[in-house]
Amino acid sequence: MRQWGEQWITRLDELGMPLYVSDDAEKYIRIENYANQYPEISSIRYYSTAGEPALTDLPHQENENVPRLAPHVLDDLASATSERSTHLIERIGHEQPLLRISKPIWTESLSTDGLLDFDLTDESAVTRTLVGFVELTLDYTSYRTSLSKYFLLGGIGCLLALLLLTSASWYVYRRALLPLSQLQSSLEELAKGHTDIKVEASGHTEIKAVADALNTTIAALNERDKKLWNMANHDPLTGLVNRHRFEELFKEELDGIALHETTSALLFLDLDQFKYVNDTVGHAAGDRLLKDVARRLENIVGETGVVSRFGGDEFLVLISDIDRDDIEAICQQFVQNLREHIFLENGESFAVSCSVGATIVDKTGGSHTDLLAQADLACFQAKALGRNRVQLYEASETGLRRMAIELSWSQKIKAALRDNLFVLHYQPIVDIYTGEAVLYEGLIRMQGEHGELIPPSAFLPAATRFGLMTQIDEWVIRNAIKDLGEYRARYGDIRFSLNVSGSFFASQKFVHSILNSLEREGVPLEAVVLEITEQVAVASSGGADQRMAELVQQGLKFAIDDFGAGYSSYNYLKTLPVNYIKIDGSFIKELAGDEVDRAIVDSICQIAKATGKKTVAEHVQDYDTMEILRSLGVDYAQSYLLGTPSETLEQEPAQVYSPSETKKTSRTA
């Protein structure tokens, strides 16, 4: 506006000159035509040198909002300078802002008329005279209105552009980012262990491929978790729920009974002829018999309860919401169904029967351990009364006393585990020819209230009955391997033989627990022999050799304990990767006077040699028996005669020959 105003007032200076020096009739028209070209021009005023209006007929001359130039302003314009470019710019008005530009009007004349001697550089030859003033007022309200209009239109345009950009961004998000966000949320859930999700994805092919891969992974994880859960909660042979899972379900049943005041029944079932089947046609046939029995029990129970394999040939059955009067009838149904079942194997038929103990489960029945003990006691009574029958638990004085004793032992065992009241003693297993200790068997004892040592025969039956054997085995493994590490640091190549129960051997943490203890104490695997009974090996069946082979490949060794007292099947000795066969002491005690025992021991030694296994004779009571064992080819012996269990290791060789013998033989083990 300033620049335009300066241009316009300069032009008006030129156009207004005739107002002062001539009577040109067109002078108003020229000024008005020029002013009309620019709507920004609000008014034009010409003043005389005295400050009076020089024109009265110019339409643009008067504007009520524009005061006339004050005399002192005119004086300033006249006296400031004589140059044409001199002008005054000021803002006037508030409600309607105006810009006023004022300028003096000068005329110029030559002071001489000599043309030949005229000098253009001589300023004194030109005379300048002030003839008046011109005032130009510019109104830029229209610009402000237009600017506001443009701002409004621009704001609307920006808003529309923003909405368009938002829509485009949302489309891009839906197209690209949203599938990634869905993948992120799915991955977060998966990282938390939640596998009950399905990844939904759309958009690019790559994202769909990632989603498909995640869904495949989730499906594999769910399948793996399902298999692990089944393995942890079901018996691998029969597919029935195992003891651990049964106890969980039983506790849930007790909670429901307390809430709804219903009545259930707990049955303890034991097969009567299972051992005979195993001894006659082998453990593989026994496994098939257990599977048959499991299916029959499930068919009888149906949807009204749950069947569990308690261990070996024992089963637990929980029947929900049953009247007291119907309990004995359904127990008889179990007995009758199995009695009618004829098991066929290799052309031989075997009659199957069972003994059933039952107890009523209601809100007054006690804890789950009490009820298990009651059913177990009732089954024991059924077997004592001739087997193949049903016995309901009755709270007799004898039964209550026996159950109280067993519960008392279970509490003592838990206290011993909690307060570390168990003690390990070690008995040497010696070379039958040199007396040198080749192994030391770890034997557990419990400290009594007065410091006395309680033998395992007193508390292990209760531990087995109440499911505490796994915890005891873990304690033995952990502490024995710790002792072994210390003894090996002191004495060199010392090796331990440790017993493990069937429940621990069948558990999922069996291998992990042993390997962790060995690694923690820095003990090599070949320094440990694990003893399992025939019953444990046979009951584990197909899984036993795989579980054992996993450790044997790494250097661990196994021994079959009490061989001959159980199934006495030589067949599985060919497949089970055991290194030692411990001959049960019942064949050793009367070895000197019993030809049958001698024949049995001889056959065991022959099989052991043929399969590359070492033999250990248990409970050797005299030196005559030692001599017979040497003649039969037995490798090692273990008994109080050769070394008593002690908290410290006996390092001196045991006496393996009679003191009266003058000639001793030796042999390298």
Of the residues 270, 313, 483, 597, only one is catalytic, namely 313
Q: What is the DSSP letter of 325?
A: H
CB 21: neighbour CB atoms within 10 A? 9
Residue written as token pair 């030109």 = 126
Known catalytic membership, residue 313: yes
375 three-class SS: helix
309 and 270 in contact (C-beta within 8 Å)? Answer: no
96 and 143 in contact (C-beta within 8 Å)? Answer: no
- Alpha-carbon distance of 7 to 596, in angstroms, equals 142
- Alpha-carbon distance of 237 to 566, in angstroms, equals 20
Cα 348 from chain centroid?
Answer: 52
- Alpha-carbon distance of 669 to 657, in angstroms, equals 16
| CB proximity list for 178: less than 8 A, separation 6 or greater | 202, 203
Give the CA count within 13 Å in the CB-facing half-sphere of 278: 25
SS3 string, 80-129, reads HCCCCCCCEEEEECCCCCEEEEEEEEEEEEECCCCCCCCCCCCHHHEEEE
CB 548: neighbour CB atoms within 10 A? 23
| CB proximity list for 399: less than 8 A, separation 6 or greater | 374, 377, 381, 393
Q: Residue 197: what are its φ and ψ, rounded to 5°?
A: -130, 160
Closest CA to 354 of 316, 404, 399: 316
Closest CA to 110 of 99, 124, 97, 90: 124
**CA 590 vs CA 383, 561, 644, 659: distances in Å:** 30, 19, 21, 21
| CB proximity list for 6: less than 8 A, separation 6 or greater | 87, 101
- Alpha-carbon distance of 296 to 290, in angstroms, equals 10
350 three-class SS: strand
660 three-class SS: coil
The size of the chain, in residues, is: 669
- Alpha-carbon distance of 421 to 221, in angstroms, equals 42
Can you spell out the DSSP letters for 254-322?
A: HHHHHHH---EEEEEEEESSHHHHHHHH-HHHHHHHHHHHHHHHHHHHGGGEEEEEEETTEEEEEE-S-
- Alpha-carbon distance of 369 to 317, in angstroms, equals 15
- Tokens at residue 236, please? 């691998």
Rg, the chain, Cα only: 56
| CB proximity list for 70: less than 8 A, separation 6 or greater | none
**CA 296 vs CA 292, 345, 428: distances in Å:** 6, 18, 48
Q: Where are the beta strands (DSSP E) in 312-459?
A: 314-319, 342-345, 348-351, 354-361, 390-392, 422-431, 437-447, 453-454
Residue written as token pair 């098939």 = 288
Active site residues: 313
